[in-house]
Structure 1
Amino acid sequence: MSKITEVKARQLIDCKCRPMVEVDVITEKGSLGRGSAPTGSSVGMYESFVLRDGDPKEYDGLSVHNAVRNVNEIIAPALIGKEVKDQAGLDRIMIDLDGTSDKRRLGGNAIYSASIAAFRAAAEDEKTPLYEYIAEGPVKSVPIPSFNVINGGRNPGATQAFNEFIVMPYRADSIYEAVEIAVKVFQKLGGVIKKHTGKAPGVGGSYGWIAPSEDPDEVLSLMQEAIDECGYTKKCAFALDCAASEMYDAETKSYYLNGGRISSGEMIGYIKRLTEKWNFVFIEDMLDENDWEGYAAAHKAIDRTLIIADDLTASNRARIERAYNDGSIDGFILKPNQVGTISEALESHRYAKERGLLSITSGRSGGVIGDVVMDMAVGLGIGFIKNGCPRSGERIDKLNFLMRVADLSEGCRMADISDLVRF
């Protein structure tokens, strides 16, 4: 047994220079656990609430001093003296203190940061890496990373409806080769884009190349050209994060695509045709976060890729349960900060795994060094994950984490997902 003796929060900044909450939890054994909450740029309406101060004089209203104060003055007194290994109990204390469905009183960013800090402190008490603490022993595999090499959305010169165009080196021989493939393909892709457009590509909000065309098929063609020129044709496939809610108009119930607007059924038909032309491991958020009927229809119509939800499910067990009962998805993106505590995220993973659904961990665009999702990905034995573009410190940190774990863990290999691939 080891009790919490100190909880302390502060304001720092994330990789996009937006204020974030960082929390330290210290135990009576002297162990320190530290946690901070990343934030996304594409944020669903069902995520836990990120509490910001709204003071335009500081960081244009994005400062988080109120959330920090909530940790130091409300959460800390409630957690001090409690057993650090009782993750579910600690999280329940904070959920009850908050008393809202989306953690908006104390702030999801305050609660989640404290939840991570306690999780890390418990592992530190055991003198074990967090991923081994989660796995309850040595790990035998690391997940296959996937890479958001072209960023869509609203950019100067083109509005690309789909948000992330992803390369997955799913047939690499090792995690080391997978990372090298991503680096080489990404660098080659810049030259391919320049050759076709006559100008160097810009850098998008998620650090990939800005989509040079509104036509998803054309973007995929450029990616395939880069893969082929690098000699990795047989080792790579694609994935998409459509982030369709960003391009959905609720009034007309239509989606923006290729300069026009289409219905849910037309979007399903379009994506089905893409999957018949290109090899996709998964397609994420292909429809709006409230289009339950559309997801069920898509899952029936599209059989050559995995249908994955993010905004629809928001890492929330109740929403995952509804999607499972509707037969709408093959899995969900696991972003623990969406639901707001470690124990709730672990429960969502457990529920999904027991029913044959995939959990795919992902960082956020406003990422952090040492993101707990990497420990969770390895410790939970997840097959493949989203890593972002192979550029910028916090994204490179995630890749180095996977290679380090593979080196330090005897007999550890990159996961094999051949039984999941549908093309």
Structure 2
Amino acid sequence: MKILKRVLLLLISVVLILIVYNYPKLNIIAGYSAKNMNSSVFLAGRTLQFTDSTDNHFSPINLASDLVDVDTKSASSSVFGLLTRTAIYREGLGSVLITDDFDTSVEVRVPKRTKPDNLTAFPLGNAEQKDSVLTDVNYNKLNKTVGNLFTNHTQTRAVVVIHKNQIIAEKYAKGFTKNARILGWSMTKSIMSTVFGILQTQGKINVFDKAPITEWQNDDRKNITINNLLQMNSGLAWDENYNEISDVTKMLFLEKDMTKIQAKKQFAGKPNETWSYSSGTTNLLSGILRNIFKTHQEYLDYWYTQLIDKIGMNSMVIETDMAGNYVGSSYAWATPRDWAKFGLLYLNNGNWNGEQLFDASWVDYVTTPTNGSNGTYGAQFWLNANGQFPDVPKNMFYADGYQGQFVFVFPDQDLVVVRMGLSHIDINAFLKGVLESIK
């Protein structure tokens, strides 16, 4: 009997040690699951069952159990009943993961939106295009290339291919349509960068100025420029590790104000000499954007009036953190067609239906390789300047998000390609097939 008691005591001790050791991780797991569930159900219009079996069905997120309350538009997730996190939905702002002390009764400001143009044909509006066939496109080869992505292991949800302003291929997985909002994850970074480009063109900011961060003014960090931040070349320390408790997971799932965590970091290198991918840097830039405007309402409106709704990305919603900052690193949702419109804006060098939203030189700026990135990164855009995709033109550039969200822009081929899904793909092979379909 004594031996049995000792064994039970040992097992209980081991379990308690494991719980204590892993408890912080449970916070991240439950937080991810709750936030993703809430956005999927209330912003994207999917079901709890669908989201649990797809978006949240990977280790260790699948350890969480989810509940949805339609009346309060909230989602809660717990891991073994040990810890529960909650996310709430707010119309116009999307979903936000909240802490226990968050006051849900406080009225929040929301961005002012314009009505969608459902009469004008895509891409200038949202109506269907007139049927037409481009003579320089091998549609059989193109459709086969696109179709190859829709297998069980690729988990592709949508592909849209646009050539000469015409949709030449479009395909969706079961359960998805052209009206389905899909999370772009880090493609949001490219949206945020573009807001800077518009402000730069309007003369409201100079990206080569020193970053206006108060706590940096008494040390060497005062020399960091906005340009360094846009190029992720500030030299500041940052841990972008999604598999552990790291800077990025703490920011996304624990912080009330996501714009501040990167600002607290010290140097791990030197500005313009140490490229390091950092979602914290992008959210710091979102905070800089907010401080440019006199009011919070102006900050909320500007992204939509000057960019998103301006080019008819009416489905897009960029979610905010608890402090009301746009989570520029990660949380833009839109239909694949609207993501394609974003690519078209860059294909047309910032011109949309005769209006120059940002100067053509901004395209040159964001596609100039950052020091230390080996030709793979510009200013919140990814590049092929080093030929990492050998069968793809080196001047192709793209927005890139977690789990294989892509908007590829081909300046010389008058081509935009969007792919969205839940897993990565062989980018070179896919794009090679698309390019070979165009004579």
Larger radius of gyration: 2
Greater strand share, structure number: 1
Question: TM-score, normalized by length of structure 2?
Answer: 0.25
Greater helix share, structure number: 1
